[in-house]
Amino acid sequence: MSDKINVGILGATGMVGQNYIRLLHNHPMFRVTHVAASPASAGKTYANAVSNRWLMDIDISEEVKNLTVADANDPVAASGKCSLVFSAVSLDKSLTSKLESDYAAAGFAVVSNNSAHRATLDVPMVIPEINPDHLDIIPMQRKNHGWSKGCIVVKSNCSIQSYMTPIYALMRSGLPIRRMIVSTLQALSGAGYPGPSAFDMIDNVIPFINGEEEKSEREPLKILGSVCGGVIEPSAGPLISAHCNRVPVIHGHLACVSVQFEKRIPSCEEIIAVWENFKALPQELNLPFAPQHPLIYRKENDRPQPRKDRNAEKAMSVVLGRLRKCNVLDYRFVGLHHNTVRGAAGGCILVAELLKEKGYI
Amino acid sequence: MSDKINVGILGATGMVGQNYIRLLHNHPMFRVTHVAASPASAGKTYANAVSNRWLMDIDISEEVKNLTVADANDPVAASGKCSLVFSAVSLDKSLTSKLESDYAAAGFAVVSNNSAHRATLDVPMVIPEINPDHLDIIPMQRKNHGWSKGCIVVKSNCSIQSYMTPIYALMRSGLPIRRMIVSTLQALSGAGYPGPSAFDMIDNVIPFINGEEEKSEREPLKILGSVCGGVIEPSAGPLISAHCNRVPVIHGHLACVSVQFEKRIPSCEEIIAVWENFKALPQELNLPFAPQHPLIYRKENDRPQPRKDRNAEKAMSVVLGRLRKCNVLDYRFVGLHHNTVRGAAGGCILVAELLKEKGYI
Amino acid sequence: MSDKINVGILGATGMVGQNYIRLLHNHPMFRVTHVAASPASAGKTYANAVSNRWLMDIDISEEVKNLTVADANDPVAASGKCSLVFSAVSLDKSLTSKLESDYAAAGFAVVSNNSAHRATLDVPMVIPEINPDHLDIIPMQRKNHGWSKGCIVVKSNCSIQSYMTPIYALMRSGLPIRRMIVSTLQALSGAGYPGPSAFDMIDNVIPFINGEEEKSEREPLKILGSVCGGVIEPSAGPLISAHCNRVPVIHGHLACVSVQFEKRIPSCEEIIAVWENFKALPQELNLPFAPQHPLIYRKENDRPQPRKDRNAEKAMSVVLGRLRKCNVLDYRFVGLHHNTVRGAAGGCILVAELLKEKGYI
Amino acid sequence: MSDKINVGILGATGMVGQNYIRLLHNHPMFRVTHVAASPASAGKTYANAVSNRWLMDIDISEEVKNLTVADANDPVAASGKCSLVFSAVSLDKSLTSKLESDYAAAGFAVVSNNSAHRATLDVPMVIPEINPDHLDIIPMQRKNHGWSKGCIVVKSNCSIQSYMTPIYALMRSGLPIRRMIVSTLQALSGAGYPGPSAFDMIDNVIPFINGEEEKSEREPLKILGSVCGGVIEPSAGPLISAHCNRVPVIHGHLACVSVQFEKRIPSCEEIIAVWENFKALPQELNLPFAPQHPLIYRKENDRPQPRKDRNAEKAMSVVLGRLRKCNVLDYRFVGLHHNTVRGAAGGCILVAELLKEKGYI
């Protein structure tokens, strides 16, 4: 236990923060020693601060219950208590940006769920199975800002995980993708709490999520980009068009994807083999949160389904199905991932595990 | 009242049959005088036959309650009672095909919800605002089969109405479509009753509907085809790729559509103007079930939505929204229609109204 | 048209206000000529003020679309425009109380959805089939306050309609009730908009509604009370115990009721006969919003159900079922009503119709 | 591992059978070595037999995947493979009754989910925290039937667990209950698969479950009864009246309960203390499936809720809340349990653990 790394959670009382606490319980590498939230919660025990707003379906872990909540705006309060913070604050964008920079300047590794730094040129946006090498921009990031040991790393928007890892697996196997059209059916938890009204979501779907299509189209290009001269140059392709829908599902974003290959069009069997055999750095390092199979292909014609497949390999796998020819582009398939685990807190914990393995914390 | 046309309903006790009874109540042109169902129901009053399986949210109309249910397999039972039958039987395909032909041979105009005759070369598949002229194959159909006055006309699968009328409106305005990718979010009532289990549909969606994608891709080509030498020649395009999903919505099929134009790419404003000004034969004839606006465009960025928009103009309009540029094809939009009214019984009643206006009954 | 009474709606842009506009379209007795809302909406046309917050499933009626929204705080703005206002404001209790009194003082008949005046001793709380005679306190109310022609009448909480009319029907037939235990399964629309989060209501129910049990137990006693010396004396019984649950249903409050009679225990047949034959003043006067059958008893063992029965007789009937012996009290049954029509705007319109018939407007 | 007891599952491919397989994975006392189902599945591997009907949200355990499915009608097939069978067959009542007797006669301990033997006088119906002593009828049961070592034990209907353990805890503390009225809001999984149609359960609840109210009222009396002269004499009380509703929840039966005490009426604090301190034989024996807290009382005013509380202590605790005075009886409260774990497979596994501890297997 003594060699675990102490970590903190900024925005610990919100739904994302609660997920961190749930997922980090008994983590072999990390121990939650610091929780911070808005000034209104500061000074209370975590259990009191969150009181009846605890939304997880397991109880608050004993180790966190009695931690005193600090003011998240104050990096000094975290000083000496932890070396990495997971940022799940819900402030407006410029305040979040400043707060995360302040923590980095104060020497903390910041792994963030927020979108504030996603477009920052020297901040890596990492899906651990796709671009773990982007973490190697950290020395340049530190130099750019004069930080001795802090850093900022972000995750992407949760909408893109259902299609980006399978797409990347194909690209890495010499099957580059030229363009793709994606329609998503996204879960309620992706909207935070309280999110959409039940009155709007019973016997209904909403064919719009504010800002989501833009993120779904743009963020993949940064993830597929390359570190070059101290910044991350986005990739030129593939071209992506996204339709984003909100559906009455608790967790699990589903994507209906049509893709066109850049060059050779592989067979169905070849694509499935690429997916089933796909492993990347997190698997090679055997990281605690790395699923054994980052991509699972289901042969039944009606899968993946959110409630039945979102928990595959502790909710860290992307589950695929229905690969078939497309009449307009080349192939169609369906992808699914657990948006609040793989697509949010779980994905960030895996990033943190990489940071440790790579010696950045 | 004396000049109303008497109509019958085959499969009158099922959900589709019930919808006919609901929608034909007080119809200015038609009066339900004959109801037929499986032999097990024959001889009972309609109210007894349907008993606690009545699924509509209004009561059975008084005029139908006490009709005696006939055996749907027996066209003779309908003889003298009506001149047109709406077919909503749920038999297997070859039995349905034979039954409908038997009624046509016995002199009845058959307007069918079933898929049995959709591929029959001389049977028109009609969306009244798109291809009312296909009804003019009826004299040839009669000649082909030696029928004196009967005929068969079918509706298309309910999945396609959300995109085919807006697409056709553009084509008719000199803006032909080359290809399109469609993702549908389809309602439960489209699966008939009982349809999917609640256990499968609460906190879940199913990215598969058996046979639906094939119909969604193929049937539009027949509807856009042309009558030629006694048969309907399907159109060569547009090329369509469909992903069909079942969602926990009671009524209302939603489609996310990306389209590529064949030639000139119009402006957003031009497309919306085409849609808002679109009228076709049913509107010109001012038919009872013709919506004043077959296409309604909503400017709010989160519409159309199934529960809020499915009832537009007595559930006979297609509601559109979110027209915007597509990164991969040319434009994207969202379409919605009420699958059991516009897409099923209501659409067939409108076809029957056309049949009367055109003198085929 | 010239002899219709002009009415106004206070809080016209909210969900309840929208319901009034929907239900008053083409009303034979009333015409909406005045709409008022918060100062932020004042000066806009109604269509602009409500813009994309219109929640009804039919469009805004043409007659209301272009009305200019007034500031609801200002009774003078309504002067000359209408003689009755439906109050659906959502202010805090003391402000609502004052606002409604101001309108009454300014000469308007106020029919209110709010709870602010429900406990006011000289304000009648009316369910039109139960206590229309309570309206006859109005002359005393006017005298108490020095109002020349204004008045205030309120509706009860929407939870109680599913059981109070059937209970009253029995009481009026010489079958007084001693006590009852009620468990309600209440719809989302009863919570206003936005109401509960979808995250809380998918795959879930909530066994608590703030303040609802107290209202469900106390308000019936006032309704069953008697006008006496210028105030309404609440009835001493029946004793009511209520458990209130929120369920993922859009409209329709269901109640599971166990009752104990005060004296004689009637037979099942007798109770059903009382319910089926029940008529009251609104039926005798044949008022536009009076259902022909205020109580409908369904014999199927699985009814009433919210989605299937809430619209009975334009959503103004209470639908009953499952009458059977109770092992603890005497009888059990299930009741249902449409909470936003019978239980809210529709019920208030029926009160207003009574006011007109009785000469109070 | 060598000292684990081998167990079999009859009806292993159905939803209840699947739950056994899910819950027995890595069980410290039992190992699944035999799976049996209908003749159609016999001879296949379990994975093949269940194929795409696997409904659990985790994968089939490796140890079970490759077991060959036997014909459940044939006790000989289980011979030598296991000493206890969990019965989850879905046959009609008389066939189930015979099948379970056949297994008992063949020397197997049968722990059954089915209702077939619930009324059999010498078959104990056991809730492990309430009447573990009823298992001591087994020697007499064996004698009655001439069985050398087999036996039959059953669980109760899943509707009653939410109220019977808290009621029993009070009775055991010298606070006997005279009568109670219960309204349940029951989950879909209680109806088996497929269960109710989604068309009936979206935007709806159903106030009826066939046979459920009778079981909810009668079975508690047997559980509270006493072993007497080779049979179980049911208790005379408490008198129970149940209203059973089906709601769109996946797992978790909720009950709204009003109770009247036989003698002294305790304080709120006293009742809560009784519940919080309640422990019984499973806790004393520290059995693997025994929750540390069989009864958990939540102080928040809106709990328990199905999705948030059903998994408390691995879904084996009953979660209580909202204790308050009742206007008609003495007290009201809300109870919740996970119907397919505590109320079905998990409860039976705990019974099996008791059987082992008591030396009956």
Compute the C-alpha angle A282/A64/A159, nearest 5°.
Answer: 45
Residue D58, pLDDT > 90, answer no
Q: Please write the tens of the pLDDT for every residue from A167-203.
A: 999 999 999 999 999 999 999 999 999 999 999 999 9
pLDDT score for D85: 98
Could you give the CA distance from residue B147 to residue B139 in angstroms, rounded to a whole number? 9
Chains that touch B (3 or more CB pairs under 8 A): A, C, D
Query: For an interface test with B, which of C48, C50, C51, C52 has the most B Cβ atoms less than 10 Å from its Cβ?
Result: C52
End-to-end CA distance of chain B: 17
Dihedral of alpha carbons C218, C220, C225, C230, sign: positive
Residues C16-55, buried b or exposed e (16+ Cβ, 10 A)? bbbbbbbbbbebebbbbbbbbbbeebbeeebbebbeeebb
Residue type, B15: M
φ, ψ of residue C224 in degrees (nearest 5): -85, 5
Could you give the CA distance from residue D321 to residue D329 in angstroms, rounded to a whole number? 17
Check CB contact under 8 Å for D241 and C250. Answer: no
Check CB contact under 8 Å for C254 and D304. Answer: no
Q: Please write the tens of the pLDDT for every residue from C283-337.
A: 999 999 999 999 999 999 999 999 999 999 999 999 999 999 999 999 999 999 9
The pairs formed by A266-275 with CB atoms below 8 angstroms and a separation of 24 or more are A266/A170, A266/A175, A268/A323, A268/A324, A268/A331, A271/A170, A271/A175, A271/A323, A271/A331, A272/A297, A272/A323, A274/A169, A274/A170, A274/A173, A274/A175, A275/A166, A275/A169, A275/A320
Task: Give yes or no for A1 touching D (CB within 8 A).
Answer: no
Residue B51, CA distances (Å) to B14, C272, C316 in order: 11, 20, 24
Residue A1, pLDDT > 80, answer no
Local structure of C65: helix, strand or coil: helix
Query: For an interface test with B, which of A243, A301, A303, A334 has the most B Cβ atoms less than 10 Å from its Cβ?
Result: A243
Q: How many CB pairs (< 8 A) connect A and D?
A: 28
Are the CB atoms for A294 and A165 separated by under 8 Å? yes
Could you give the CA distance from residue B117 to residue B97 in angstroms, rounded to a whole number? 6
Could you give the CA distance from residue D337 to residue D320 in angstroms, rounded to a whole number? 9
Are the CB atoms for B46 and B62 separated by under 8 Å? no
For residue C248, list chain A residues with Cβ-Cβ distance below 8 A: 198, 202
Task: Give yes or no for B193 touching D (CB within 8 A).
Answer: yes
**pLDDT-based confidence at residue B1 (cuts at 50, 70, 90):** very low
Of D74, D154, D81, nearest in space to D111 by CA: D154
Of B2, B91, B3, B20, nearest in space to B349 by CA: B20
Angle of helix D346-357 relative to helix D15-24, nearest 10 degrees, comes to 50
Nearest CA in chain C to D189: C203
Q: Is A27 left (phi over 0), alpha (psi -120 to 50) or beta?
A: beta
For residue B189, list chain D residues with Cβ-Cβ distance below 8 A: 199
**pLDDT-based confidence at residue D2 (cuts at 50, 70, 90):** low
What architecture (CATH level 2) is domain C159-338? 2-Layer Sandwich (3.30)
**pLDDT-based confidence at residue D1 (cuts at 50, 70, 90):** very low
Q: Please write the tens of the pLDDT for every residue from B60-99.
A: 988 899 999 999 999 999 999 999 999 999 899 999 999 9
Nearest CA in chain C to A246: C198
Residues with Cβ within 8 Å of residue B130, at least 6 apart in sequence: B164, B165, B168, B223, B224, B280
Could you give the CA distance from residue C152 to residue C114 in angstroms, rounded to a whole number? 11
Q: 124-153 in A: which are within 8 Å (CB) of C?
A: none
Local structure of C305: helix, strand or coil: coil
Nearest CA in chain A to D59: A312
Q: Tokens 């992506």 — which residue?
A: A240
Check CB contact under 8 Å for C308 and B55. Answer: yes
Are the CB atoms for A158 and A253 separated by under 8 Å? yes
Could you give the CA distance from residue B227 to residue B147 in angstroms, rounded to a whole number? 19
Q: Please write the tens of the pLDDT for every residue from A261-287.
A: 999 999 999 999 999 999 999 999 999
Check CB contact under 8 Å for A308 and D55. Answer: yes
Of B344, B171, B177, B166, nearest in space to B255 by CA: B166
Residue C224, CA distances (Å) to B9, C137, C231, C336 in order: 50, 14, 13, 20
- Bridge partners, A9 (sequence order): A35, A86
Nearest CA in chain C to D184: C183
Q: pLDDT exceeding 90 applies to what percent of chain B? A: 93
Closest CB to B193: pick one of D188, D195, D199: D199
Residue D249, pLDDT > 50, answer yes
Q: CB neighbours (10 Å) of residue C310?
A: 28
Q: Tokens 């060598």 — which residue?
A: D2
- Bridge partners, A228 (sequence order): A231
Residues with Cβ within 8 Å of residue D239, at least 6 apart in sequence: C327, C328, D178, D179, D180
Query: For an interface test with A, which of D22, D54, D57 has the most A Cβ atoms less than 10 Å from its Cβ?
Result: D57
Of C182, C204, C128, nearest in space to C329 by CA: C182
Q: Which two tokens stand for residue B42?
A: 């024959």
Q: pLDDT exceeding 70 applies to what percent of chain A? A: 99
φ, ψ of residue D46 in degrees (nearest 5): -60, -45
- Bridge partners, A8 (sequence order): A34, A85
Q: CB neighbours (10 Å) of residue C268?
A: 12
**pLDDT-based confidence at residue A229 (cuts at 50, 70, 90):** confident
Specify the CATH number for D5-157+344-357; select among 3.40.640.10, 3.40.50.300, 3.40.50.720, 3.40.50.620: 3.40.50.720
For residue B188, list chain D residues with Cβ-Cβ distance below 8 A: 198-199, 202
Residues of D acting as catalytic residues: 158, 253
Could you give the CA distance from residue A12 to residue A24 in angstroms, rounded to a whole number? 12
Are the CB atoms for D40 and D66 separated by under 8 Å? no
- Bridge partners, C320 (sequence order): C297, C335
For residue B205, list chain A residues with Cβ-Cβ distance below 8 A: 185, 247, 249, 254, 305-306
Could you give the CA distance from residue B53 to residue D199 in angstroms, rounded to a whole number? 13
Residues with Cβ within 8 Å of residue D228, at least 6 apart in sequence: none
Check CB contact under 8 Å for B240 and A327. Answer: yes
Residues counted in chain C: 361
For residue D301, list chain C residues with Cβ-Cβ distance below 8 A: 208
pLDDT score for D53: 85
CA of B314, closest CA in chain D: separation in Å? 21
Of D345, D350, D310, D337, nearest in space to D114 by CA: D345
Q: H or E element: which one contains C227?
A: strand C226-228
pLDDT score for A6: 97
Nearest CA in chain A to C195: A197
Q: Which two tokens stand for residue B14?
A: 């099922």
Check CB contact under 8 Å for C58 and B311. Answer: yes
Chains that touch C (3 or more CB pairs under 8 A): A, B, D
Residue C179, pLDDT > 50, answer yes
Closest CB to B185: pick one of A185, A208, A326: A185
- Rg of chain A over Cα atoms, rounded to whole angstroms, equals 20
For residue D55, list chain A residues with Cβ-Cβ distance below 8 A: 308
Could you give the CA distance from residue A80 to residue A46 in angstroms, rounded to a whole number? 19
Q: Which two tokens stand for residue B32?
A: 């339900």
Out of A36-40, A58-62, D183-187, pick the least confident: A58-62
End-to-end CA distance of chain A: 17
Q: Please write the tens of the pLDDT for every residue from C87-137.
A: 999 889 999 999 999 999 999 999 999 999 999 999 999 999 999 999 999
The residue-averaged pLDDT of B115-142 equals: 96
pLDDT score for B305: 97
In this prediction the ipTM stands at 0.95
Q: H or E element: which one contains C354?
A: helix C346-357
Residue D250, CA distances (Å) to A157, A199, B200, B202, B203 in order: 29, 20, 9, 7, 8
Q: Please write the tens of the pLDDT for every residue from D81-140.
A: 999 999 999 899 999 999 999 999 999 999 999 999 999 999 999 999 999 999 999 999
Q: How far is CA D172 from the centre of its chain?
A: 21
Q: Please write the tens of the pLDDT for every residue from C227-246.
A: 998 899 999 999 999 999 99
Residue A320, pLDDT > 60, answer yes
Of A279, A266, A237, nearest in space to A333 by CA: A266
Residues D128-140, buried b or exposed e (16+ Cβ, 10 A)? bbbbbebbebbee
For residue A51, list chain D residues with Cβ-Cβ distance below 8 A: 300
Please say whether the structural domain A158-338 has been given the CATH code 2.40.320.10.
no
Are the CB atoms for C75 and C102 separated by under 8 Å? yes
Q: Which two tokens stand for residue C17?
A: 């206000």
Could you give the CA distance from residue B193 to residue B294 in angstroms, rounded to a whole number? 28
Bond preceding residue B28 cis, omega within 30 of 0 = no
Q: Tokens 């304080």 — which residue?
A: D267
What does the DSSP 8-state code read for residue B266?
-
Give the CB-side neighbour count of residue A341, counting CA atoms within 13 A: 23
Residue B158: active-site member: yes
Residue A253: active-site member: yes
Task: Give yes or no for A202 touching C (CB within 8 A).
Answer: yes
Q: Give residue limits of the domains in chain B.
A: 5-157+344-357, 159-338
